[in-house]
């Protein structure tokens, strides 16, 4: 039986004939001559790698970064290629494109998104562009599902992933509205509400040094009044003091603590 030799047909103008160079490369021992020939082969195929990288432009990555990723994929293809497998181009193209796709999947997403959802995003993005080219207005979820061969739940997952590729900084200005002085508000200014518990925690930390410095009697009176919620009369009865004396001690102690906190704030400022 006659065996058909593997096809070495080249399909693109930037696909040079390096069959002999690869054959010679595999016969050379590792050394300067081997490395020089390997560099020559990489340089010969580099235009093709850059062309493949160019197909991924305008997708959120810098084109120079894509060129470098494609070059790394090309080097991997050169190192792994065997002439008996067929044309180098048929082996190199999937290797380079795989590196480019891996770069988008692993390096450019602001948050972790499962690979399945990333693929849904790509399918829906292409399908959406195809529908927009043939109709006026944004396609519905049902239209996208029918066009892409997906379920509506899968379309919803993919649409959410489209907005997850890039995240906004909380310091980014939001053009949807501004402050009364006409300046733009940051995204952080428009999200969430002020947590009242923060002020309470701050106040507690501010008075902590002053409370630790109180005499035992004054500290006990404050604890019984504000933590055990006892009346001045009840405190006086337990400590053997009049209600009026307890009132004066509380007022004097609170004033002392307030003055110490204000003095500490003034010194820190």
For 140-193, the pLDDT digits (tens) are 888 888 888 888 888 887 777 666 655 555 566 655 555 555 566 666 666 666
Six-digit token string for 53: 């990288």
In the chain, what percentage of residues exceed pLDDT 70?
A: 77
Q: Give the confidence band of 61 by pLDDT, cuts at 50, 70, 90.
A: confident
Residue 5 falls within a domain, yes or no? no
Question: Do 50 and 88 sit in the same domain of this protein?
Answer: yes
Answer whether residue 44 shows pLDDT above 90: yes
Gap between the terminal Cα atoms of the chain: 94
Question: Do 96 and 26 sit in the same domain of this protein?
Answer: yes
pLDDT value at residue 58: 76
Residue 160 falls within a domain, yes or no? yes
Question: Do 143 and 92 sit in the same domain of this protein?
Answer: no
Q: Tell me the residue range of the domain where 259 lies.
A: 196-268
For residues 235-263, give the mean pLDDT: 91
pLDDT value at residue 140: 86
The residue from 192, 207, 235 where one domain ends is 192
Separation in Å, CA 136 to CA 130, 133, 140, 147, 155: 12, 8, 12, 16, 20
Q: Give the confidence band of 1 by pLDDT, cuts at 50, 70, 90.
A: very low
Question: Do 55 and 73 sit in the same domain of this protein?
Answer: yes
Residue 208 falls within a domain, yes or no? yes
For residues 28-57, give the mean pLDDT: 92
Number of domains composing the chain: 3
Residue 200 falls within a domain, yes or no? yes
Mean pLDDT of the chain: 81
Instruction: Note whether 170 and 191 are within 8 A (CB).
Output: yes
Task: Assign residue 76 the CATH number of its domain.
Answer: 1.20.120.1810
Question: Do 33 and 97 sit in the same domain of this protein?
Answer: yes
Question: Do 45 and 117 sit in the same domain of this protein?
Answer: no
Task: Assign residue 129 the CATH number of its domain.
Answer: 1.10.10
Q: Give the confidence band of 6 by pLDDT, cuts at 50, 70, 90.
A: very low
pLDDT value at residue 3: 41
Residue 6 falls within a domain, yes or no? no
pTM of full prediction above 0.75: no
pLDDT value at residue 232: 93
The residue from 192, 226, 258 where one domain ends is 192
The residue from 72, 107, 142 where one domain ends is 107
Question: Do 116 and 41 sit in the same domain of this protein?
Answer: no
């Amino acid at each position: 039986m006659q065996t058909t030799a593997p096809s070495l047909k080249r399909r693109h103008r930037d696909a040079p004939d390096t069959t002999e160079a690869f054959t010679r490369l595999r016969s050379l021992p590792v050394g300067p001559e081997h490395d020089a020939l390997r560099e020559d082969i990489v340089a010969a195929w580099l235009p093709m790698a850059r062309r493949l990288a160019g197909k991924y432009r305008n997708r959120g990555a810098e084109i120079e970064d894509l060129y470098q990723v494609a070059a790394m994929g090309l080097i991997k293809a050169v190192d792994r290629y065997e002439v008996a497998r067929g044309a180098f181009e048929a082996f190199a193209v999937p290797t380079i494109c795989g590196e480019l796709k891996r770069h988008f999947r692993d390096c450019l997403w602001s948050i972790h998104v499962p690979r399945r959802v990333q693929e849904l995003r790509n399918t829906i993005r292409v399908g959406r562009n195809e529908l927009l080219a043939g109709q006026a207005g944004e396609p519905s979820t049902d239209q996208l599902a029918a066009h892409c061969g997906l379920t509506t739940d899968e379309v919803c997952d993919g649409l959410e992933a489209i907005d997850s590729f890039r995240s906004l900084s909380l310091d980014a200005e939001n053009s949807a509205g501004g402050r009364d002085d006409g300046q733009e508000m940051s995204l952080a200014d428009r999200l969430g509400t002020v947590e009242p518990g923060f002020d309470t925690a701050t106040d507690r930390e501010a008075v902590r040094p002053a409370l630790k410095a109180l005499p035992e009697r004054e500290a006990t009176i404050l604890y019984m009044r504000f933590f055990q919620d006892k009346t001045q009369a009840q405190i006086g009865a337990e400590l053997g003091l009049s209600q009026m004396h307890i009132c004066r001690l509380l007022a004097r102690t609170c004033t002392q603590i307030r003055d110490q906190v204000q003095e500490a704030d003034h010194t820190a400022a």
